[in-house]
Structure 1
Amino acid sequence: MQTKKYFVQDIRAGQQIDDTFMVIRARQAQARNGPYWQLTLQDRTGEIQARVWNPLSRQFQDIPQEQLVRIRASSQVFGDQLQLNIDDMHFIDQDQADPGLFLPVSCTPPEELHQNLILFLQQNVSYPGWKKLVKKILTREEIKEPLLKAPAAKSIHHAYMGGLLEHTLSVCRICNQICDLYPDLDRDILLCAAALHDLGKTMEILPGASRDYSHQGKLLGHIFLGLDMINPFLDKAKELDEDLIMHFKHIIISHHGELEFGSPKRPKTREAFVLHFADNLDAKIKTLDQALAGGDESEESAGTWSDYQRSLGRFVFQPARTPRPPESPREQGGKKEGQCLLPLKE
């Protein structure tokens, strides 16, 4: 089993690298002294550019996407960008390495996120019909396994293994807090819809480094795919009457908010509006955190701007923070671990 010593985030100019990486992109080009390969390599911490020069480049007729490669290389800065010049390279079989070393993954293990989601729903959903439905769906093995690996998006937010579960749990928590502010909301149906609103992404986005869209994803989309997965369970849910089921389906199919954003219907109930805004809020905050280098709250980062964010149509700013009073020892002991962010690139 291959292990790793050098991760992308730790590589600096002037190092000699002997390690395993995953090929994300490969393109053959021509230089004055012959053909060469332009590679983008990845591990779980990020991506780095690499070059395979002539004559070594001639040994490879093809370099497949998601191929694991063992390389010996030197790191250097070229054109203000760090890259690896590869002196030796050979292919590694996928079963010789832990995929978690090469694919970005949530900081909380996906299995733990799944358990936390089940526990949260069992503690906060009261009506037996909804409680049984959501547990049956999320614990069904053919649903659970792809859910553990699924990203929440291809590139914009939570685009890593476990990302869909992380996003789903956050949306559920936001909805639960909003129900405390507005007690007339139907908490049970809202939390169940929040837990299942993006289930179709397990079929829409392919697992692996490419995070490409499947044929089903391109043709049908995750909203339709998700309802198609849920419908067989709804058909057997004898404790849920037709009006509840109709409302539940409406909350899910309208969660994108507007027709131009892929929503078959616009929200028309309070619960549907809440899920739409909670979903959008979590996605936007995650996007901002990633844009601002992981949400660094240090004084040194105050007053800095992000790169241009295409998904937001703007640059975003890291302002100075209001000073916080010193925490008591009791508060420090009970402080929750902050959300971890991964270095992601579009």
Structure 2
Amino acid sequence: MDDAADLDLLTLTQLKQIAGPSAQPYRVHAQVDNRIEKQTSGGAPFLEVKLADAGDSMVWRVFDNNPLFQDARQLQRGTFIELAAQWVDTGKYGIEPRQPQMRLLSDEEKQIILSGDADLAERQRADYADIVALVEAMRDPRLKTLCSLFLEKHGERFRRTAAARENHHARRGGLVEHVAQMMRTAVAIAGVYPTLNHDLLVAGVLFHDCGKLWENTYPETGFSQPYQLHGEMLGHISLGLELVNKLWRDMMDRPEAPAWTMLEPAGDLVRMHLLHLIASHHGQYEFGSPVLPKTPEAVILHHVDNIDAKMEMLRRGYQNGKELAPGIIERFRPWPVNVLSPLARVSGLPEPLTDETEPRKQPITNPV
């Protein structure tokens, strides 16, 4: 293989998109998320090394006949490495590095990878800006202040938290992406159903997964998502309820709070409705909700959450899935069936006579 320094440097997502049945030389920079030693059916040891970067992850299987086996055996969780190889998509076992070369990253290289893929970082920056704008557009001063207080106190941690450990938006900053898209969808729905409480719905989206800041967050210096005692013992719904109650008490100590006592509906009722959105957003007892959705906003929130999670799963499946036949993509976890390529939009027709041929991505004004 050529000198590793001469090879193109790819993100893990780019590698998955490019790798095919023919060997192709590339290098990747990643952090070791986990290392597990296993045995083949014949009793020989092998390693499964999970690698992660800002946008994706993959498993590197290292067998005992690999010249890097002993070096890989010493890798600790959190180590940053460069892996240069001839990459082959084997089909059954995924992408495999052949003739691999490995080295530790320098401090400068670590800082570059921690800053993330430029395109992903820009998307997450824009998503966070949308969240801030939608909060600023709220009319209910209690919910607006509560949301602003959350962003002020926990915004940095929010920006490095995943929406899940595996199934959707399972990456550093994934929760910001998930919440922003849910907010845009919820605002669009509120415009169609004007009886919905717009501000309550937007606040419910912001807080529905806020407990994941103590369940699925990443450290400041890595892509290895640790398990945390709070998340394991209580779960993100319980943690979210506790956080909102704490923020509400802090908010009511502010000097402007006494002026809100004249507002209707009363503040405690507003708080209870918001807590109900958090408690019921999984939609079913068997999926972890302590209560079922019992208000219009709770029903909408549950379905918007489910829609965005499913759309992200489909996006990932179309991006990384194996094509079984033209237009048929092999099922991927946790999707229960093979998926089909979507129907393309019609082309070849004149554009409609309007100033905007596409709906706005992010309506940020309160329609109520």
TM-score (norm 2): 0.74
Decide which moves more: 166-175 or 211-220. 211-220
- Asked if 1:26 corresponds to 2:35, the answer is yes
Q: Which residue of 2 aligns with 1:250?
A: 276
What are the Cα deviations for residues 206-265 of structure 1, in whole angstroms up to 9, with x where unaligned?
415443542211211111111222212212333362111111211221111111111111
User: In 2, distance between residues paired with 1:101 and 1:174?
Assistant: 29
Q: Which residue of 2 aligns with 1:291?
A: 317
Q: Which amino acid aligns with 2:167?
A: I
Matching residue within 125, 129, 138 for 1:115: 129
Matching residue within 136, 153, 161 for 1:150: 161
Q: Secondary structure at the match of 1:292?
A: helix
Cα RMSD, aligned residues only: 3.8
Q: CA deviation at 1:313?
A: 2.1
Q: Which amino acid aligns with 1:126?
A: R
User: 1:105 and 1:227, CA in 2 relative to 1: closer, same or farther beyond 3 A?
Assistant: farther
Matching residue within 239, 242, 246 for 1:232: 246
Matching residue within 253, 275, 295 for 2:301: 275
- Asked if 1:305 corresponds to 2:328, the answer is yes
Q: Which amino acid aligns with 2:79?
A: Q
> Is residue 29–residue 113 contact of structure 2 (8 Å, CA) maintained in 1?
no
Q: Which residue of 2 aligns with 1:128?
A: 141
Matching residue within 163, 167, 171 for 2:174: 163
> Is residue 19–residue 88 contact of structure 2 (8 Å, CA) maintained in 1?
no
The aligned runs of 1:1-346 (5 Å cut-off) are 5-7=8-10, 8=12, 9=15, 10=18, 13-17=22-26, 20-28=29-37, 37=47, 39-43=49-53, 44=55, 46-47=57-58, 49=60, 51=62, 53=65, 56-59=68-71, 62-76=74-88, 81-86=94-99, 88-92=101-105, 96-97=109-110, 98-100=112-114, 106=120, 108-123=122-137, 125-140=138-153, 143-207=154-218, 208-235=222-249, 236-237=251-252, 238=257, 239=260, 241-293=267-319, 304-324=327-347, 325-327=349-351
> Is residue 38–residue 50 contact of structure 1 (8 Å, CA) maintained in 2?
yes
User: In 2, distance between residues paired with 1:66 and 1:102?
Assistant: 16
User: In 1, distance between residues paired with 2:143 and 2:81?
Assistant: 48
> Is residue 22–residue 67 contact of structure 1 (8 Å, CA) maintained in 2?
yes
Q: CA deviation at 1:54?
A: 5.5
Q: Which amino acid aligns with 2:336?
A: G
> Is residue 74–residue 85 contact of structure 1 (8 Å, CA) maintained in 2?
yes
> Is residue 77–residue 83 contact of structure 1 (8 Å, CA) maintained in 2?
yes
User: In 2, distance between residues paired with 1:104 and 1:313?
Assistant: 33
User: In 2, distance between residues paired with 1:30 and 1:254?
Assistant: 43
User: 1:3 and 1:272, CA in 2 relative to 1: closer, same or farther beyond 3 A?
Assistant: farther
> Is residue 21–residue 102 contact of structure 1 (8 Å, CA) maintained in 2?
no
**Structure 2 alignment gaps of length 5 or more:** 261-265, 362-368
Q: CA deviation at 1:46?
A: 5.0
User: In 2, distance between residues paired with 1:243 and 1:135?
Assistant: 20
User: In 2, distance between residues paired with 1:302 and 1:332?
Assistant: 37
What are the Cα deviations for residues 241-296 of structure 1, in whole angstroms up to 9, with x where unaligned?
2111111211221111111111111111111111111111111122222222289x
Q: Secondary structure at the match of 1:230?
A: helix
Decide which moves more: 2-11 or 170-179. 2-11
Q: CA deviation at 1:47?
A: 2.8
What are the Cα deviations for residues 283-317 of structure 1, in whole angstroms up to 9, with x where unaligned?
1122222222289xxxx999522222442322222
User: In 2, distance between residues paired with 1:182 and 1:245?
Assistant: 22
User: In 1, distance between residues paired with 2:193 and 2:205?
Assistant: 17
